[in-house]
Amino acid sequence: MTGVPKLHDDEVAIDSALVERLLAEQFPQWAGLPARVVERSGTDNVTFRVGDELAVRLPRTVRNQGQVEKDLAWMPRLAPHVSLPIPEPLELGRPSEDYPFTWGVYRWLPGHRSSRSRSTSYELHGIWLLSSARCARWTRPMRRCRTATRSPGVRRWRHVT
């Protein structure tokens, strides 16, 4: 069992055994696949690699729930309009006795973490920014969405005309 260090006081306990149980209960086609935590996977969510083809993303706290639903709504709409691969959500997991929030199953994106030491990272970020500009007309409706949390210094998305 691989535990995940807590980053927040109100964070729920998450580990690889939990992910494997949730998959077995809700998505039996993936039961038995090993889950291993992705190091430095985020402060809002914990990501696990499941087998060779899947990723599972679980919100750490109540204030981070709802992001998976946004991914399911928007990622398929944005994917055709960006030149780099983006996460492909496959399933929405339900809260259970073991885990109180919705969670997501995604297709695993192969690659490496971006870093300043890699000569191509700035180039790739530039390509991503250009792709983002091309899909700006698709992101305008996203500005109407409320974010999952309202942290100090972070404003809610507002409709901009």
Domain assignment of residue 113, yes or no = yes
Helix-, strand-, coil-residue percentages of the chain, each rounded to 5: 35, 15, 50
Name which residue leads in pLDDT, 34 or 130: 34
Q: pLDDT for 33-87, tens place per residue?
A: 999 998 877 778 889 999 999 999 999 888 888 888 998 888 888 888 877 788 8
Domain assignment of residue 130, yes or no = yes
**Other C-beta atoms lying within 10 Å of the C-beta of residue 58:** 24
Domain assignment of residue 33, yes or no = yes
Question: Is the pTM for the entire model greater than 0.85?
Answer: no
| Segments forming the whole domain that contains residue 97 | 16-144
**CATH code of the domain containing 62:** 3.30.200.20
pLDDT at 111: 76
